[in-house]
Chains A and B, each alone.
Chain A
Amino acid sequence: MQSVVLKGTKDGYELILKETASVREILVDLKQLLEGLGEESEKGKDQLHLNVQMGNRLMSEDDKNDIIKLVDDYDNLVIDNFLSNVITREESAKIMSENNVEVMSRVIRNGQEVNVDGDVLFFGKIHEGGKLIATGNVFNMGVIEGIVQAGCPDDESKLIIGNLHTAQQVRVGEQYDIVADRPIEDSEKTVVYVNDLHVLSYGKIKNLKEINPKFFNRIGGIE
């Protein structure tokens, strides 16, 4: 059986690499396949986009580059993506932590910056000059007198929920507010979000469904 098969799917063309074949075998077979293909598609000048399906294996960047180099010789063929059924442990840990809610009850002091992947449930205290920066949402049940950011670096769909009226700054994605200039109500039910006009806004927990329906559904909200 050939180690490389070209297959048409509803999303376009896929080069399927046999996962038991060595990279050298694949390169030889791919060259052969491309030569045949080149002759056929010479007439139609349309560009053909390919995805490479690696099956149950991951290839090194060098091997991927060898494949890209081979395909580059043909003007009308472009590789879009390398696909695989598997991911590395590192990547899986990252995905896990992104969906995880980290519970934190420490003191973040002046000059300290705490970065978190995913959501944070915060019970501690952020002193003036301290920073809590999360890639996900921030749920505050502690005291924030410093700076808090959700959706770092640029995810504007994230929220900060809790009492924030003592904070120095609140930031969601790339939007920020200096609390001294625009006071926040002293309430545990505050929701900080970025609205459709990309402006930081303040709402109430009871309006969460309107503010961010996706988040509302994720936490299992019912009507």
Chain B
Amino acid sequence: MGKAIVITSGKGGVGKTTSSANIGIALAMMGKRVCLIDLDIGLRNLDVVMGLDNRVMYDIVDVATGRVKLVQAMVKDKRFDDLLYLLPAAQNTDKTALNEEQVKSIVDELKPDFDYVFIDCPAGIEQGFINAVSGADGAIVVTTPEISAVRDADRVIGLLEQHPLQETPKLIINRIRKSLMEDDNYMDVDEITTHLGIDLLGIILDDDKVISTSNNGESIVMNPDNPTAQGYRNVARRLEGETVPLMKIDVQKESAWDKFKHLFKRN
């Protein structure tokens, strides 16, 4: 029996969909059976990020309303031999097209066949959020080191605590920029984690390649050397129960010699 985990954030644009795709792929690379459910109905993206958008035939609303069987709507990712599946969101309706019971029954139907079921939650705390949370056993809250994202994460954690899931929510801090880590006004990882008061599942460095790879329908996590990919792989290993030390963010300081070289260059 697998575990259903909702990936949520409150605020939009912090990387829920990218994180869902990358964590899912990282676990599939470890040999786990993973199903990703896109619940951002009306504004679906997960299929695009995964590079599966041209294979979508049916969607979750078709399944919920009984038009097709669950297996018919699931899209297989051919890169991972029978390990990774996507259940896409509908594009021609909105978040109110589903209710909690429907989502819960779909998730419950998937859980016996998969090790992990990830639910990609839409931004906001309305019906879409309620639907996404209703079927989940655990939650991953994604935030970025920005005050607005942290505030919304706080709000979402509050809502999750009001209706506790089986497991306490876990935190991913996304889009950490090395160059800003030294700035005193920048919120650092410790500060955000202690403020929100939940367990840290991982930190993900910002990288321009995240965008360029997902534009091509690939995922950063498949790149073996990239530190951002390393972050996602660490998250996957921690979900599997391994103890992985937190990635060190080595800020490259300019040495006296580098400065000297710079001077030389200008001249």
Contacts and interface: CB of A to CB of B under 8 A. Distances in A.
Contacts, number: 25
Interface in A105-140: 107, 109-112, 125, 127-130
Interface in B125-166: 151-152, 154-155, 157-159, 161
Given A127-B154, A129-B151, A129-B155, A109 B195 contact: no
A127 B147 CA distance: 12
A110 to B, nearest CB: 4
Interface residues of A, number: 10
A200 B184 CA distance: 34
A127 B195 contact: yes
Interface in A56-113: 107, 109-112
A128 B159 CA distance: 15
B12 interface: no
B31 interface: no
Contacts of B159: 111
B197 interface: yes
A2 to B, nearest CB: 58
Nearest to A125: B197
Nearest to B154: A110
Contacts of B151: 110, 128-129
A127 B155 CA distance: 10
Interface in B174-231: 195, 197
A110 B125 CA distance: 13
A107 B197 contact: yes
Contacts of A127: 154, 195
Residue among B152, B154, B195 with the highest chain A CB neighbour number at 10 A: B154
Contacts of B154: 109-111, 127-129
Contacts of B152: 110
A4 to B, nearest CB: 53
Contacts of B195: 127
A145 to B, nearest CB: 9
Interface of A: 107, 109-112, 125, 127-130
Interface of B: 151-152, 154-155, 157-159, 161, 195, 197
Would you list the 7 A-B pairs with minimal beta carbon distance, nearest first?
A109-B158, A110-B154, A110-B155, A111-B155, A109-B154, A112-B158, A127-B154
